[in-house]
C-alpha cells in the first residue's frame, strides 16, 4: 500500500498510550494515561492494578485519539501493539484489544517490541537521524548500545550486566526518600546539589568494551547514604549533593561508553532513547562529547522518551509498510531480547 493509517497501543507497564500514525501525514494524534498516582502509594508498579487500569482506560483512549485525528475506526489500516517485554498481564490487555479491534475492522495486527518503539521514537521529530546510527537505549529495564543500520537491523554492541540506568535512578530515589518514579525527582534534587561534594565511581569505564554495570554504583550510593545517616548529617543539602554525585556518575559512565561506540563504529550519529534520555544532564554531556567528534545527538521530545503510544504506532507502521503482520494469536512476551 502507498500509505497506511496505523493505530498504536502501548500497555507494557504503567502507562496506557495510544496514537494514530499516518505514513504520509505523520503523527495525527496521541494520548497517554499515566497510572503513576495509583502506584505511588506502593512505591512501585503493582502489576495486577496496572492490568485492571489498562482495561478501564484503553478503549476510551483509542476512541479519543481517533476522534482527535478527525477519523473513524473504519479509516484504520492496521493496528500495532506492544507485545513485550513488560508485565504479562498489562501486555495481554493491549494485545487483546488490538486483536479484537483488528478482527472487527478486518485489518492486520502486529505485535511490536517495546524497545524498538523507544529506539525509533526520535524518528518522530523534525530532522530525524539517517541510518546508520548508534543508539543508547536507557529505560527502567534496559541499558543497551545498539548499532542500527535500518528498521530491524540491530547489532547489540553492549548492555548492562545487572541493573538498568533507570532502575539505578529509581533505587537512588528510594534511598533519598523520593517518590516513584525516581528518575525525574533525583534529577530535580540534583539541581540543588553542590558539585564534587562526593565523588562516585564510574563503573566499568577503565576496562575496554561497551557493557555497563550499575549495581555497584547503587551499593556505593547506599553506603554513602548510611554513612551520612550514622553521622547525623543526612540533611536536605546532603541529599541533593548525593543526588548530583550519583547523576554525574551515571552521565559520565554513559558518555564514556557512547564515545567509545561512536569511535568503534565510525558512526557520526548518536540516538538516545528511553525514559532516562529525558535527563537534561545526560543530553548536555552527550552533546558536549559529540561536538568533539563532530557527531550529532538525536532524541525525542520528553513525552516520547518515556513510554507512549506514538513510538509503537511509528515502529508498527514501518514494519506494516514492509508487509509484516501477525496471525490471530495474541502475543505477550514478558522477557524478549531485541
Ligand atoms: O522508558 P521508560 O518510560 O519505561 C521503561 O521502558 O522502563 O523509562 C522509565 C525510566 C524510569 O526508571 C525513570 O526513573 C527514568 O526512566 N526516567 C528518568 C528521567 N525521566 C524518566 N531518569 C533520569 N532522568 C529523567 N529525567
Ligand atoms: Zn519503556
147-176 mean pLDDT? 97
pLDDT exceeds 70 at position 97: yes
- Reduced to 3 states (helix: H, G, I; strand: E, B; else coil), residue 239 is helix
Q: Which of 23-27, 43-47, 151-155 has the least mean pLDDT?
A: 43-47
CA distances from 186 to 118, 183, 198, 246 (A): 22, 5, 15, 9
Please give the share of the chain, as a percent, with pLDDT higher than 90: 97
Which residue's alpha carbon is nearest to atom 21 within ligand 1?
275
pLDDT exceeds 90 at position 17: yes
- Reduced to 3 states (helix: H, G, I; strand: E, B; else coil), residue 237 is helix
Which residue's alpha carbon is nearest to atom 14 within ligand 1?
183
Confidence band for 244, pLDDT divided at 50, 70 and 90: very high
Q: Which is the closest atom of ligand 1 to the Cα of 280?
A: 26
Choosing from 13, 189, 218, 275 the residue with most ligand 1 atoms within 8 A of its CB, the one to mutate for a pocket test is: 275
Question: Which residue has better confidence, 43 or 200?
Answer: 200
ipTM exceeds 0.95: yes
Number of H helices, E strands in the chain: 10, 10
Ligand 1: residues within 6 Å at CB? Answer: 118, 139-141, 166, 169-170, 181-184, 187, 274-276, 278-279, 306-307
Ligand at shortest distance from the CA of 254: 1
Q: Which is the closest atom of ligand 1 to the Cα of 167?
A: 12
Domains within the chain, CATH numbers bracketed: 5-120+305-321 (3.30.420.40), 131-299 (3.30.420.40)
- Would you call the peptide bond into 106 cis, given omega within 30 degrees of 0 as the criterion? no
With CA atoms as reference, report the closest residue to 328 among 114, 110, 113: 110
Q: What is the pLDDT of residue 136?
A: 98
DSSP string for residues in 28-55: EEEEEEE-HHHHHTTTS--HHHHHHHHH
Provide the strand spans (E) within 217-334. Answer: 269-273, 296-299
Q: What is the pLDDT of residue 181?
A: 85
pLDDT exceeds 90 at position 187: yes
pLDDT exceeds 90 at position 322: yes
Note the pLDDT tens digit of each residue in 189-225: 999 999 999 999 999 999 999 999 999 999 999 999 9
pLDDT exceeds 70 at position 1: no
* All three cell numbers of 328: 490471530
- Would you call the peptide bond into 132 cis, given omega within 30 degrees of 0 as the criterion? yes
Ligand at shortest distance from the CA of 276: 1
For residues 93 and 113, what is the distance between their CA atoms, to the nearest angstrom? 16
**Adjacent-strand bridge partners of 273:** 137
Q: Which is the closest atom of ligand 1 to the Cα of 169?
A: 14
| Cα 75 to averaged position of ligand 1 atoms, centre (Å) | 34
Q: Which is the closest atom of ligand 1 to the Cα of 12?
A: 6
Q: What is the pLDDT of residue 2?
A: 80
| Cα 306 to averaged position of ligand 1 atoms, centre (Å) | 6
Count of residues for the chain? 338
Note the pLDDT tens digit of each residue in 267-283: 999 999 999 999 999 99
pLDDT exceeds 90 at position 174: yes
Q: What is the pLDDT of residue 259?
A: 98
Q: What is the pLDDT of residue 180?
A: 85
pTM of the model: 0.97
Q: Which residues are annotated as a binding site?
A: 114, 118, 137-141, 170, 183, 279, 307
* All three cell numbers of 302: 520528553
Amino acid at each position: 500500500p502507498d500509505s497506511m493509517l496505523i493505530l498504536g497501543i502501548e500497555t507494557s507497564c504503567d502507562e496506557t498510550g495510544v496514537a494514530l500514525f499516518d505514513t504520509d501525514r505523520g503523527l495525527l494524534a496521541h494520548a497517554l494515561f499515566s497510572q503513576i498516582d495509583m502506584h505511588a502509594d506502593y512505591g512501585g508498579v503493582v502489576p495486577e492494578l496496572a492490568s485492571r487500569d489498562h482495561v478501564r482506560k484503553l478503549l476510551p483512549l483509542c476512541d479519543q485519539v481517533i476522534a482527535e485525528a478527525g477519523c473513524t475506526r473504519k479509516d484504520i489500516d492496521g493496528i500495532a501493539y506492544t507485545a513485550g517485554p513488560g508485565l504479562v498481564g498489562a501486555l495481554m490487555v493491549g494485545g487483546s484489544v488490538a486483536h479484537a479491534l483488528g478482527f472487527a475492522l478486518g485489518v492486520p495486527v502486529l505485535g511490536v517490541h517495546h524497545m524498538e518503539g523507544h529506539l525509533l521514537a526520535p524518528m518522530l521529530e523534525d530532522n530525524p537521524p539517517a541510518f546508520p546510527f548508534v543508539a543508547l537505549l536507557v529505560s527502567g529495564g534496559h541499558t543497551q548500545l545498539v548499532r542500527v543500520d535500518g528498521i530491524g537491523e540491530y547489532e547489540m554492541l553492549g548492555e548492562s550486566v545487572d541493573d538498568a540506568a533507570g532502575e539505578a535512578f529509581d533505587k537512588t530515589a528510594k534511598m533519598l526518600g523520593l517518590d516513584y518514579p525516581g528518575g525525574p525527582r533525583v534529577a530535580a534534587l540534583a539541581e540543588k546539589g553542590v558539585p564534587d561534594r562526593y565523588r562516585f565511581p564510574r563503573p566499568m569505564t577503565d576496562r575496554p568494551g561497551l557493557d555497563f554495570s550499575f549495581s555497584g554504583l547503587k551499593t556505593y550510593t547506599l553506603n554513602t547514604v548510611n554513612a551520612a545517616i550514622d553521622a547525623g548529617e543526612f540533611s536536605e543539602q546532603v541529599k541533593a549533593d548525593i543526588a548530583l554525585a550519583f547523576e554525574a556518575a551515571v552521565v559520565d559512565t554513559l558518555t564514556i561508553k557512547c564515545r567509545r561506540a561512536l569511535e568503534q563504529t565510525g558512526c557520526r550519529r548518536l540516538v538516545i532513547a528511553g525514559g532516562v534520555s529525558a535527563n537534561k544532564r545526560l543530553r548536555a554531556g552527550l552533546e558536549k562529547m559529540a561536538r568533539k567528534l563532530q557527531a550529532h545527538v538525536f532524541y525525542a521530545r520528553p513525552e516520547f522518551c518515556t513510554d507512549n503510544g506514538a513510538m509503537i504506532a511509528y515502529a508498527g507502521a514501518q514494519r506494516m509498510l514492509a508487509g509484516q503482520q501477525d496471525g490471530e494469536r495474541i502475543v505477550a512476551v514478558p522477557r524478549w531480547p531485541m
